[in-house]
Amino acid sequence: MHRELFMIGYGDTYYARTLTDVSPRRSLEGAVEADAAIVGGGLAGLTAALDLARAGRSVVVLEAERVGWGASGRNGGFVGPGYATSLANITRMVGRDRAHALHRLSIEGARIVEENLDGLGMTDNKRVYGKMSVLRYHDPDSLARQCETMKREFDYRLEMMPTDAVREVLRSPKYYQAIYDPASFHFHPLNYARSLAKAIEDLGGMIFEGSRVTACDFEKAEKVIRTDRGEVRARDVVLAGGGYTDNLVPRLRRSILPIATYVLLTEAAPEKIAQAVRTPMAISDNRRAGDYYRLVDEESRLLWGGRITTRTTEPRRLAQMMQKTMVSTYPQLEGVRVETAWSGLMAYSRHLMPLIGRLRPGVWHVFGFGGRGMNTTAIGGRVIAEGILGTSDRYRLYEPFGLAWNGGPFGVAAAQLTYWTYQAMDLAKEHKAARAA
């Protein structure tokens, strides 16, 4: 099993194990011309490419590894509205009107994914609706306010679940109230990415895997990007490297911090797991970089994600580390074996908002989605495609979130320190709640 997975090039993740179409694509060799060239075959690049292809443009996607190999094909698979930072923070940065317009785009992003799933007839991608965001301390008032705001401002329905109802389905004493979002869902992001790729090819687009872009020339109206063995000439280039963005354009690399996060897949243990998690919904807790998980494989296994670090190499004892996290919430899962665990890189900007815009005429960037990428890559890809097609300038709504320097090594240290500080603050809140209970 392990060897086979290694050979298909996606590593040993749950998604690689359950991938429906594994066929590889060829690498770029020689010279190709297109209207638009996309660097990065994650969901941001693929969504932009698909929208351009739908509008009749010729597109070429160059992916260093395989389509969906990055964060897009190894994540939690939760699709819902919002960004990597809260609406309150966005409002503080850009004011109420723009923050609300941006939030509406984030809702649209989730709908784009649904439309693609429906429109492309993706039979290998079952959606499971419903998401619970759980508190680890008692605070029903703040949740009630959040539900009211979403209803009033965005006509978006959320419901508050009281502690009893939460503990009925999530058998952990760590949990209190939750917000239930009926419109969010979870799915198989790698199958989705590969279906988008196929749709692009069906429209005449070209996708090359194993084709890292190592050089570029953006000086003239016709842009050139080069790999080891080929080059693409295009009027527009979209840079969509996510957390794997390299030094191809140093200014882009300097504007993000790649942050690693981890996921585990348990063995099939339906009885034991049912003692802990009794809902097929997507679950996350409210801590910054807290736990998120869901049942998979006919509810027989848990797919559990959590933790973040600025260290980009995989820790040696990753599976044990993640299992400890899971058992600290559900002691009844002690002894449930971890079958595989993996990591992925997310791109975080200093302001925690996506970096979407035009670097210079004909050169576009769409990355920096952090831990909330399923909806935001969709809307990011769409507004970039609209910008290239000249059908809208909605990408400009992201202009206030510029390519600020990530702080270099100081930025990395500061990010890790901020995470530890948040962790300590979250723990203090939980201890206070436990003492009060």
Ligand X SMILES: Cc1cc2nc3c(=O)[nH]c(=O)nc-3n(C[C@H](O)[C@H](O)[C@H](O)COP(=O)(O)OP(=O)(O)OC[C@H]3O[C@@H](n4cnc5c(N)ncnc54)[C@H](O)[C@@H]3O)c2cc1C
Longest dimension (CA), the chain: 68
Q: How far is the CB of 140 from ligand X (least distance, A)?
A: 26
- For the chain, what is the radius of gyration of the CA atoms? 21
Q: How far is the CB of 2 from ligand X (least distance, A)?
A: 20
CA distance 31 to 50: 22
* Eight-state DSSP code of residue 244: G
- Pick between residue 83 and residue 137 the one whose CB is nearest to ligand X: 83
Q: How far is the CB of 241 from ligand X (least distance, A)?
A: 3
Return left, alpha or beta for 370; rule: phi > 0 is left, psi -120 to 50 is alpha, else beta.
Answer: left
- Pick between residue 137 and residue 329 the one whose CB is nearest to ligand X: 329
- Beta-carbon contacts of 319 under 8 Å, excluding residues fewer than 6 positions away, are 264, 338, 340, 341
State the DSSP H helix or E strand holding residue 238, giving kind and residue range, or none if neither: strand 230-239
Q: How far is the CB of 357 from ligand X (least distance, A)?
A: 14
Q: How far is the CB of 428 from ligand X (least distance, A)?
A: 26
Beta bridge partner(s), residue 260: 309, 345
Q: Tokens in use for 11?
A: 């590593």
Which residues make up the interface to ligand X (CB under 6 A)? Answer: 39-45, 62-65, 69-72, 74-78, 212-213, 240-246, 248, 261, 263, 305, 344, 346, 367, 369, 371-374, 377
Q: Tokens in use for 388?
A: 């290239």
Q: How far is the CB of 429 from ligand X (least distance, A)?
A: 23
Q: How far is the CB of 170 from ligand X (least distance, A)?
A: 17
Nearest 5°: phi and psi at 66? -130, 160
CA distance 378 to 275: 36
- Beta-carbon contacts of 196 under 8 Å, excluding residues fewer than 6 positions away, are 43, 46, 47, 50, 116, 120
Q: What is the length of the chain?
A: 437
- Pick between residue 39 and residue 403 the one whose CB is nearest to ligand X: 39
- Pick between residue 72 and residue 191 the one whose CB is nearest to ligand X: 72
- Pick between residue 49 and residue 333 the one whose CB is nearest to ligand X: 49
CA distance 357 to 384: 7
- Pick between residue 266 and residue 377 the one whose CB is nearest to ligand X: 377
- Pick between residue 13 and residue 137 the one whose CB is nearest to ligand X: 13
Q: Using an 8 Å Cβ cutoff, are 261 and 344 in contact?
A: yes
- Pick between residue 180 and residue 208 the one whose CB is nearest to ligand X: 208
CA distance 197 to 205: 9
Give, in order, the Cα–Cα distances in Å from 169 to each of 166, 173, 279, 296.
6, 12, 6, 16
Nearest 5°: phi and psi at 193? -60, -45
Q: How far is the CB of 190 from ligand X (least distance, A)?
A: 10
Among 294, 348, 306, smallest CA distance to 85 is for 348
Q: How far is the CB of 340 from ligand X (least distance, A)?
A: 13
